[in-house]
Structure 1
Amino acid sequence: MKPSIARTPLFAAIAMATAVTSPAVVAQSDETSFALEEVVVTARRRSESLQDVPIAVTALSGDALKLRGAADITELAQSVPSVTLEPSRATNSTLTAFIRGVGQQDPLAGYEQGVGLYLDDVFLARPQAAVLDIYDVERIEVLRGPQGTLYGRNTVGGAIKYVTRRLSDELSGSLKGTYGSYDQIDLVGTVSVPLGDSFRVGGSVASFQRDGYGENKTTGDDQYDKDIFAYRLSAEWLPTDNILVRFSYDDTQDDSSAVAGYRPFAGAVSGAPVLNDIYDTTAGASDNISTAGINGNNEVQAEGWMLGVDWNLGDHWTFRSITADREDYTESVIDFDSLAVDDFDAPVIYDNDQFSQEFQLLFNSDKMNLVTGFYYIDAEASNDFDVVLGQLGRAAYGSELTAYTGGQVDTESWSVFADLTWNFTDKLSVAVGGRYTEDKRSADVFRGSYLGAGGSPFFGNDDAFLLAVTSDYEAERTFYDFSPRINVSYLWTDDITVYGGYSQGFKAGMFDPRGANLVTPAVEQGVDPEQLDSYEIGFKSVYWDGRAITNIAVFYSEYTDMQVPGSVGIDTNGDGINDDFVGTLTNAGEAEISGIEIEGNFLFTENFSMQVAASFLDADIKEWIVNDVDVSDQREIQNTPEEMAYIGFTYNTMAMNGELTLNANWSYKGDITQFEAPAPILDQDAYDMINASVVWVSGSETWLLGIHGKNLTDEEIKTAGYCFGSGGCPSTLGLEDNTSIFYAPPLTVSATVEYRF
């Protein structure tokens, strides 16, 4: 039996391309009976060998992810260099993503992400509902460094592409059930139905259910539970041999309980003790009158459709159109104090929608390859929330004090891009590209402070008394940019490719939807665009008679005008107690980020392989001016560990008339700073994680049985937090020493059964 390299996760992970076709068999070398297969990719919109493509990306096939039992895209960060993926604080499905020190951790309206997320080539403008569960997926790709000259929206830090499976031309499908720790019950069904030679339809339905890792001791609800129902519908039509039309629609409903953080300190006023279990909480916001405007509700609903057309215009030309519309709506309860009292509670509503259109024209020949395109997006994002300071308001005014914020930020952007590769010889290729972008941002922000139980008028309290308006403005700015790219690659030998390149990333300026213009008038000007200049050299090699691959990338980036959001409490009446807060969106001056990334795969025997990955980063803020003082020595790059490592072992053997695959992997992350200002109580020290899987597939591939264990040493891993109390926080808000921490899942074990037809 020959091993299937598609089932070894990091063989795909060593890819350096923008799209990857996972290998299915093992190629034969001249001197051995087994070797790693040469992978064919479509990175630059044409088929070519993975090892010949000088673009940095890691990709994992759907089969590899299935063998590891990966639940959602955040698990990719365990094995992908220079990447951090986490659920945002106090959420189940809002994504915080960083690549090579570039990202955005605040999900408020208008805060465009530094890492672009794509679902079947459609850019998702907002992070809500972006922690995508892994089902019916063909592959997931993680592109490192600025992207923009080959497709889609320009992204300053990188991109993640979630690619679903194409429909089959034969009747096929699958049913999968999983049961695991904390009464996890996952059910996924897929089907593909051909309706004639040129038309086929299909779909997937998924339910993901799990009890909480902990308990809310006040409400009795679960903590860190999961309650998601999702489905996708798709259709493909081939009216001629040269035209493919693809339509898809997806819908996700997340009714998981509100997540509250763990308090490391006792309540300063209430005296509430520190709990013994880090996954438990005493948060009472969902039952308090402070969140009555949304009935203490916590839900996320997201949906969208895509229409794609691929038209082969002849031997060399291809035209592509991608039209899409998406929207999502969130009602959420944030309990900043994580206590039964209403010291610092917030009902929140996010409402987002977007429309995008992309056209591509591609030319491919032996000598020249060209990608040209046009991209347009019209996106509207809004957030409305009350910050209810119940105890402080009753002490100072005899009634709850509420700071309401309503912010809407509209983005209308268009761009044109082109990328040309010229093959001077069979060995030497030069690629040049560029992107011109015009981004218009419009903001409408209102903030007001109110007295009265039940929050602000926006959340249904018509009897609320208006104390003061702290912000009321509309603003608009348009940003223009040209971002170039150049890359030179050389085939040193038949098995070694070296390359070097420069690319520039751009993210338009934006407005703070929490900005208080009556306190700080400068917020009406917004902040300036970000720019990242990235230099990279790479070495890609195949050796040991085709049984080993090692790829190395070294990069250096100059990052200017980083957009860093935050919020701090303020004292509006001079009594020494913060009774409101303001946004602190700023441009940090300059940072330098450099590093080395290593990925490899080694096939020791026909049945035994090892996969490795590592990154070593040096991320340093060089200038950050606050009130004419450089505070760069007091600031850190967020969510970016300096070291990361991954080692996985995969063993395949015949067993019970099928194939048995054993996989064990170890991952390591260095110290992580959650925010730009270190806060030891929130920041995560270096940690290890160990996972293991056993998967059996029948000889006919009709049945799959799997057992998956994750975080087997039960590490306590901090993923996010709120810091409005002691422990090195930048400011205080509320009376209860309000610092809380969110954690990654504990040790879990699950068993899967899948039937395919």
Structure 2
Amino acid sequence: MFPTVRHALLLSAAILPVPAFAQDATAPQADAAPQAAPAEAAGPSRGDVIVVTARRRQETAQAVPLAISVIRGDSIEATGNFNVVKLQQLAPTLQVYTSNPRNTSVNIRGLGVPFGLTSDGFEQGVGIYVDDVYNARVAAATFDFLDVAQVEVLRGPQGSLYGKNTTAGAIAITTSQPTFDFEGGAELSVGNLDLRQGKAFVSGPLSETLAARVAVASTTRRGTLYNVTSQRWINEQDNLGLRAQVLWKPAGNLSVTLSGDYSRQDPECCGTVYVRTGATQRALSRQFDALAAALGYAPPSRNPYDRLSDLDGSLNATNRIGGASLRARWDVGGGTLTSISAWRFWDWKPENDRDFTGLSIVARSQNPSQQNQYSQELRWNHEGARIDYVVGLFGFHQRVDTQGTEQQGKDASRWSLSGAQANDPSILRGLTATNTQFLKSDSAALFGQVSLKLGDRLTLQPGARLNYDHKEGYYSRVVTNGQGQMISCTPAPPAGSVLAAQCGVYQPQQTSPSVSAWNFSYDMGINYKLARDVLLYANYAKSFKTVGINQNGLPLNADNTPNLAASTVAPESVNHYEIGLKTQFWNRRATFNLTGFRTEIGNFQATVNGGQFGTVRGYLANAEKVRSQGIEADFKVRPSDRFTAYVNGAYTDAKYVRFTNAPCPPELSGGTFVASNGSQQPGPAGVPGSLSPRQCDISGQALPGVSKWAFSYGAEVNQPAHVFGKDGQAYLGIDGNYRSSWNSNASPSRYTVVDGYALTNVRAGFRSASEGNQGFDLFGWVRNAFGVQYIDLLQVAPGNTGLIAGTPGDPRTYGLTIKTRF
């Protein structure tokens, strides 16, 4: 089935300030993008005018009643935000956390995807789109931007305008399009950590009706952690990307673009370092320090900023992603018919060290996966004097196949078992779980939106979407002991037996979940133009994230059989409220936008992680209710061509309103479970040997990954100069961001609080005056200029030993970049 994946280009909606220092505000020259600003916005005395097509027509960003940040391609390059993961430094309400490309969380306002191990069985709440093509797997977020013209971060639920529904927002990436005038460019960056980055493109006519564009980018950089076991730097960058496009314009009202792209990553990644330990309810003799002493082990450093690791397992994050799309636009009959057909693939070959130590506890861990997706969208839009409307059809098909292997090592018995069994390494050594799974997902939708202009100032904008989803999965886990013999854990083996010990780590199971669901969503917007440059708007959206299935194994019943009731996960029900004010003043040299929002989600799809090494890697469950609310403010000023500055800020209060059966944090885990009949009470948190609750009520606690306060800011000043025989500008720029503390565990823990930090980047250089389409830019840069030590992500090590591992953020980096156009 060919899906709709074509969404968000249109996403391109309103711009809150542009956190960048673009020299012009022209929109990307895609065939779906605007070519010029409305006449009233023109004039040399005015400030920047940014044109978007969020509602399927050309509008200035300030006229669009939606909350969106628009970031120009040159700004992305200048600030060093080379992929979506780094983009959060420019967009305060965007949160991106990654332990490897597959396990990447992309959230907006704290909502979007469950925090924890990724499962293929649920939808993303934040859609990632490249040239209107939906990328179903968030692994795309870790790739370098390639020939990007503009990125738009749209906040809040979408659905009545876009092919693939999203409940939290979307990231729409628009690449540069083929041109009928010949042009080209190249860029080279070198820096510390052996950074080598090259980019190049060429674009031009093949005939009077054909034009083509080819772009390539390559990045290599030494890792930021040193592995004393392998004596290699790890967590390196090794990226290559290619994109080619052909544009056919046989007539002025018809354009067809064929695009293809391929990207690959081959780093030795993704490792962690020791960060800290925290007391759990496990017996003291079985917590990290005691176990490490018994095995004669010590981490290479207890200071994470020494950047020393000793992981003994193989590390690999080989990643291949690419595809092709065909986009056609035909202006006919008073409207525009748009078709986007796309195919994409993803091939993921990871190897990890899941015990986070130099011990052989988990000797092998890998879950290679292959995905193919197909999408088709047809959309018709019409513009009139008093009414505009869009109606569309969409279809999507996805198949994901995964083959996993996890094996216990020689130290596993000592680490995971107690009593005499802890001294018998043969019990767990070689114990292997082999997983086979697939997912087939189909969806279809009918969507539309109408804009009713009730006079020159007031507009109503109702929209609706009818959506159907079908998911079908298969999961099989076969477990063999060290002698290669298959084991069975049903009926439950006798307590204290070797088999019981093995089943406490890996249990065989097989499930075939299948589920279908219809849902109807709708939205209503109203906006009023208080003055020429003052727009007040309010939006309400009733949205759904569709049903999910569990693809990584199920929790067990008392008799060790899978709990089939947990095979599927109920859809999320979203109620979203938003009010905003968009203003420009000082002859449009200054822009100030303000947004207030509140989003309530019933049956929030959350990730539940088991504390053991392999019983259940993680599965989906429904939290009764979550809520995110806050205020966002954006300000940009450009008093002259010599100076630009911006500051964006957000306050976000995101919490579990009600989650009564949540997984427990490490300080309430690891001990003997209390009796299921309620006759016992759990012991105090973090007291070794005390009783542990079976689940925890975390109602009222903050959602993971969300900083209450976040800011981004920057400025650039330039001065006319004559360098290398060329007239141009010498310039100095600074940009930075701040995030307050946040929690890095699905159930907030006192051990996984990531302290707030502020990062500052500086650049200085010379850009020549443009001669036609020619020129160059030479600048030096320092990122994290003050060498701030901060943590990107904390992870709770399995086994309830109290070990907390993490990934330090990039240290100070510096280098030189030269860019040229011809």
The match for 1:322 is 340
Corresponding position: 1:723 with 2:792:
no
Structure 1 residues 124, 637: closer, same or farther in 2, change over 3 A?
same
**Residue pair 1:331, 1:348 contacting (<8 A) in 2 also:** yes
Deviation track 1:640-673 (CA, whole Å, cap 9, x = no partner) reads 1111112211112211211233211231101111
Assess if the C-alpha contact under 8 Å between 1:137 and 1:163 holds in 2: yes
Report if aligned partners of 1:26, 1:37 keep a CA contact under 8 Å in 2: no
Q: Distance in 1 between matches of 2:593 and 2:454?
A: 24
How has the CA–CA distance of structure 1 residues 160 and 200 changed in structure 2, closer, same or farther, with 3 Å as cutoff?
same
Task: Describe how 1:283-298 pairs up with structure 2 within 5 A.
Answer: 283-286=311-314, 297-298=316-317
**Per-residue Cα deviation, 1:132-182 (whole angstroms, up to 9, x for no partner):** 312311100101000111122001111001110011111211121110110
Distance 1:598 1:493, change over 3 A: same
- Distance, in Å, in 2 between the alignment partners of 1:312 and 1:367 is 20
Which residue number corresponds to residue 272 of structure 1?
298
Corresponding residue for 2:327?
308
Instruction: State the match for 1:607 in structure 2.
Output: 642
Tell me how far apart the structure 1 counterparts of residues 553 and 126 of structure 2 sit (CA, whole Å).
24
- Per-residue deviation, 1:683: 2.6
Worse-matched range after superposition: 390-399 or 532-541: 390-399
1:195 corresponds in structure 2 to 206
1:487 aligns with 2:534: no
Alignment of 1:177-196 (within 5 A): 177-196=188-207
Contact 2:436 2:475 in 1 (8 A): yes
Q: Which amino acid aligns with 1:580?
A: T
1:753 aligned to 2:753?
no
Q: What residue number does 1:96 align with? A: 105
Distance of 2:26 and 2:231 partners within structure 1? 42
Residue by residue, what CA displacement relative to the aligned partner does 1:382-409 show, whole Å, maximum 9, x if unpaired?
A: 3332232212256251632223333322
Please state how far the C-alpha of 1:43 moved relative to its aligned partner.
Answer: 1.6
Q: 1:507 aligns with which of 529, 540, 545?
A: 545
Q: Which amino acid is the alignment partner of residue 163 of structure 1?
A: T
Structure 1, gaps ≥5 residues long: 287-295, 458-464, 571-577, 726-730
Deviations 1:412-447 (A, max 9, x none): 000010010011111011000011100101110112
Matched, 1:658 2:688: no
Matches of 1:605 and 1:41, distance apart in 2 = 23
- Does residue 388 (structure 1) correspond to residue 407 (structure 2)? The answer is yes
Q: Is the 8 A contact 1:502 1:533 kept in 2?
A: yes
From 693, 703, 708, give the equivalent of 2:763.
Answer: 693
The C-alpha deviation readout for 1:312-357, integer Å capped at 9, x for no partner, is 114x310000000011111111112233332124122121111011
Residues 426-435 or 124-133, more deviating: 124-133
Distance (Å, rounded) in 2 between the aligned partners of 1:447 and 1:190:
47
For the residues of structure 1 that align with 2:658 and 2:184, how far apart are their CA atoms?
56
Counterpart CA distance in 1 for 2:614 and 2:441 is 32
Match of 1:437 among 430, 442, 467: 467
When structure 1 is superposed on structure 2, of 151-160 and 125-134 the one drifting more is 125-134
For the residue of structure 2 that corresponds to 1:370, the secondary structure is: strand
Deviation at 1:307? Answer: 0.6
Q: What residue in structure 2 maps to residue 575 of structure 1?
A: none
Q: In structure 2, the residue corresponding to 1:74 is in which secondary structure?
A: helix
The answer to whether the Cα contact below 8 Å between 1:149 and 1:433 also exists between their aligned partners in 2 is: yes
TM-score, L = length of structure 1: 0.89
Give the corresponding residue for 1:544.
Answer: 586
Distance 1:438 1:93, change over 3 A: closer
Q: How does 1:434-473 map to 2 (within 5 A)?
A: 434-452=464-482, 470-473=508-511
1:331-350 equivalences in 2 (<5 Å) = 331-344=349-362, 345-350=364-369
Would you say the 8 A contact 2:228–2:310 is kept in 1?
Answer: yes
1:8 matched to which residue of 2? 21
Are the aligned partners of 1:27 and 1:37 in contact in 2 as well (CA < 8 Å)?
Answer: no
Is residue 27–residue 50 contact of structure 2 (8 Å, CA) maintained in 1? no
Name the structure 2 match of 1:57: 68
Displacement over 4 Å in runs of 4+: 4-7, 9-15, 19-30, 453-457, 465-469, 627-630
Q: How many residues align?
A: 715
The whole-number CA distance in structure 2 between the counterparts of 1:523 and 1:380 is 24
* Deviation of the 1:704 alpha carbon: 1.4
Distance 1:173 1:586 in 2: 51
CA contact (8 A) 1:428 1:488 kept: yes
Paired-residue identity, %: 24
* Distance in 1 of aligned mates of 2:479 and 2:400: 23
Confirm whether residue 562 of structure 1 aligns to residue 604 of structure 2. Answer: yes
Aligned-residue offset at 1:73: 2.0
C-alpha contact 2:507 2:615 (8 A) present in aligned 1: no
Partner of 1:702: 775
Give per-residue Cα distances to partners, 1:461-513, cap 9 Å, x unaligned: xxxx9978532121211011111010000000112110001012321111121
Report what 1:224 is aligned to.
235
1:410 deviates by: 1.6
1:448, CA displacement in angstroms?
2.9
Q: 1:27 to 1:452 in 2, by over 3 A?
A: farther
What is residue 109 of structure 1 aligned with on the other side? 120
Match of 1:292 in 2: none
1:124 CA drift (Å): 0.7
Aligned equivalents of 2:528, 2:536: Cα separation in 1: 5
Structure-1 residue corresponding to 2:453: 423
SS at match of 1:560: strand
After superposing the two structures, state which structure 1 stretch, 541-550 or 271-280, moved more. 271-280
CA deviation after TM superposition for structure 1 residue 217, in Å: 1.1
* 3-state SS, counterpart of residue 264 of structure 1: strand
Question: Greater CA deviation, 444-453 or 433-442?
Answer: 444-453
Aligned residue among 210, 219, 228 for 1:208: 219
In structure 2, what is the Cα distance between the partners aligned to 1:22 and 1:200?
17
Following superposition of structure 1 onto structure 2, how do residues 594-633 of structure 1 map, counting pairs within 5 Å?
A: 594-626=629-661, 631-633=697-699
SS, match of residue 715 in structure 1: coil
Match status 1:119 vs 2:119: no
Q: Give the letter for the 2:755 counterpart.
A: D
The Cα shift of 1:12 comes to: 7.7
- Secondary structure at 1:369 match in 2: strand
Match of 1:669 in 2: 739
Q: C-alpha distance in 1, partners of 2:656/2:374?
A: 36
1:68-79 aligned within 5 A: 68-79=79-90
Q: For structure 2, which runs of at least 5 residues remain unmatched after alignment? A: 1-16, 277-288, 414-423, 488-498, 663-693
Amino acid of the structure 2 residue aligned with 1:748: T
Rounded Cα–Cα distance in structure 2 between residues aligned with 1:146 and 1:218: 47
Alpha-carbon offset, residue 635 of structure 1: 4.1
Q: 1:602 to 1:755 in 2, by over 3 A?
A: closer
Equivalent of 1:712, from 782, 785, 802? 785
User: CA shift at 1:691, angstroms?
Assistant: 0.9
Moved more, 671-680 or 415-424: 671-680
Q: Secondary structure at the match of 1:75?
A: helix
Aligned-pair distance for 1:605?
4.2
SS at match of 2:275: coil
Q: Distance in 1 between matches of 2:54 and 2:73?
A: 18
1:638 maps to which residue?
704
Contact 1:36–1:546 under 8 Å retained in 2? yes
Q: Secondary structure at the match of 1:67?
A: helix
Q: 1:10 to 1:603 in 2, by over 3 A?
A: same
TM-score (norm 2): 0.82
Partner residue of 1:406? 436
Per-residue deviation at 1:299? 0.8
Q: Please say if 1:359 is aligned against 2:359.
A: no
Q: CA deviation at 1:51?
A: 1.3
Give the 3-state SS of the residue equivalent to 1:80 in structure 2. Answer: coil
Q: Does 1:553 align with 2:599?
A: no
CA spacing shift, 1:738–1:405, aligned 2, 3 Å:
farther
User: In structure 2, do the counterparts of structure 1 residues 298 and 594 end up closer, same or farther at CA, with 3 Å as the change threshold?
Assistant: closer
User: Where does residue 171 of structure 1 map in the other structure?
Assistant: 182
Structure 1 residues 198 and 93, CA gap change in structure 2 (3 angstroms): farther
SS of the equivalent of 2:88 reads: helix
Structure 2 letter corresponding to 1:123: Y
Aligned partner of residue 86 in structure 2, secondary structure: helix
